[in-house]
C-alpha cells in the first residue's frame, strides 16, 4: 500500500499548478470551487423555488438533484471520516483544509459526476451536455490546485457515477413518498 500511495503522491505533484502561472491557476481555482456543495445547493434551491409555478420540470429537476446531493454528501463524509486520509500539503483551499481535513474520496468529484450522470438522464439535453463537459474539468481542478490527490478524485468520480445510477433507480420510488409527506416537494 505504501508504494501505491507514493505513486499517487508523485502523480499528484506532477499535475499541481504553481501560482506563477496566473491564467491557468485562476481557471483551475474557479473549476475547483465550481463543485462546492453550498453553491450547488443554494442554486438548486433558488431554481426549485422560482420554478414552482411556471416550470414544473425544472422544479422537479432541482429538487431531485438537491436531494441526491444531500444523500451523496452523507455517504462521502462518512467515508472520509472512516478513512481519514490527510489532504496534500499546500496553501490554496484553506476553507477546505480547515473545515474538512480529510481528502479521500473527493466530495467535489463525486458531486460533479453525480450531477452529470443525473442531469444526462433527467434534464434537457443542453444541460446534460454542459454538466458532462464541466464535471471532469471540476475534478481536474481539485488536483491542479493541490487539495486532493489523484486517487481521491478518481475514487470520487467512481462514487459519483455509481451513486448517480443508484439515485436514478431510487427516484421513482422516493419522490412519491416524499411528495406524500411534503406536498409539492418535487
The pLDDT assigned to 22 comes to: 82
Of 182 and 59, the structure prediction assigns the larger pLDDT to 59
Containing structural domain, residue 128: 36-181
Q: Is residue 90 part of a domain?
A: yes
Q: Is residue 6 part of a domain?
A: no
Q: Is residue 76 part of a domain?
A: yes
Q: Is residue 7 part of a domain?
A: no
Residues shown for the chain: 186
The pLDDT assigned to 93 comes to: 62
Instruction: Report whether pLDDT(154) > 90.
Output: yes
Task: Answer whether 87's CB lies under 8 Å from 101's CB.
Answer: yes
Q: Enter the C-alpha cell of residue 107.
A: 466530495
Q: What's the rounded Cα separation, in Å, for the pair 82 and 78?
A: 6
Of 38 and 132, the structure prediction assigns the larger pLDDT to 132
Q: Is residue 74 part of a domain?
A: yes
Task: Answer whether 111's CB lies under 8 Å from 65's CB.
Answer: no
Output the CA angle 71-130-141, nearest 5 degrees.
Answer: 70
Confidence of residue 13 (pLDDT cuts 50, 70, 90): confident
Task: Answer whether 65's CB lies under 8 Å from 115's CB.
Answer: yes
Q: Is residue 63 part of a domain?
A: yes
The pLDDT assigned to 163 comes to: 96
Of 115 and 181, the structure prediction assigns the larger pLDDT to 115
What is the pTM for the complete model shown? Answer: 0.87
Number of domains in the chain: 1
Q: Is residue 186 part of a domain?
A: no
Q: Is residue 5 part of a domain?
A: no
Q: Where are the alpha helices (DSSP H) in 20-149?
A: 22-33, 37-50, 56-83, 94-99, 107-122, 125-144
Amino acid at each position: 500500500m505504501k508504494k501505491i500511495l507514493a505513486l499517487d503522491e508523485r502523480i499528484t505533484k506532477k499535475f499541481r499548478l504553481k501560482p506563477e502561472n496566473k491564467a491557468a491557476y485562476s481557471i483551475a481555482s474557479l473549476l475547483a470551487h465550481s463543485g462546492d456543495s453550498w453553491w450547488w445547493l443554494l442554486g438548486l434551491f433558488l431554481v426549485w423555488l422560482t420554478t414552482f409555478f411556471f416550470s414544473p420540470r425544472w422544479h422537479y429537476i432541482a429538487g431531485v438533484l438537491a436531494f441526491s446531493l444531500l444523500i451523496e454528501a452523507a455517504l462521502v463524509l462518512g467515508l472520509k471520516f472512516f478513512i481519514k486520509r490527510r489532504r496534500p500539503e499546500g496553501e490554496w483551499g484553506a476553507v477546505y483544509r480547515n473545515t474538512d481535513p480529510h481528502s479521500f474520496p473527493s466530495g467535489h468529484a463525486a458531486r460533479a459526476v453525480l450531477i452529470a450522470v443525473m442531469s444526462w438522464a433527467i434534464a434537457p439535453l443542453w444541460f446534460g451536455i454542459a454538466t458532462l463537459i464541466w464535471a471532469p474539468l471540476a475534478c481536474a481542478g481539485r488536483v491542479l490546485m493541490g487539495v486532493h490527490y489523484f486517487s481521491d478524485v478518481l475514487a470520487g468520480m467512481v462514487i459519483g457515477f455509481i451513486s448517480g445510477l443508484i439515485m436514478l433507480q431510487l427516484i421513482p420510488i422516493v419522490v412519491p413518498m416524499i411528495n406524500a409527506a411534503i406536498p409539492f416537494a418535487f
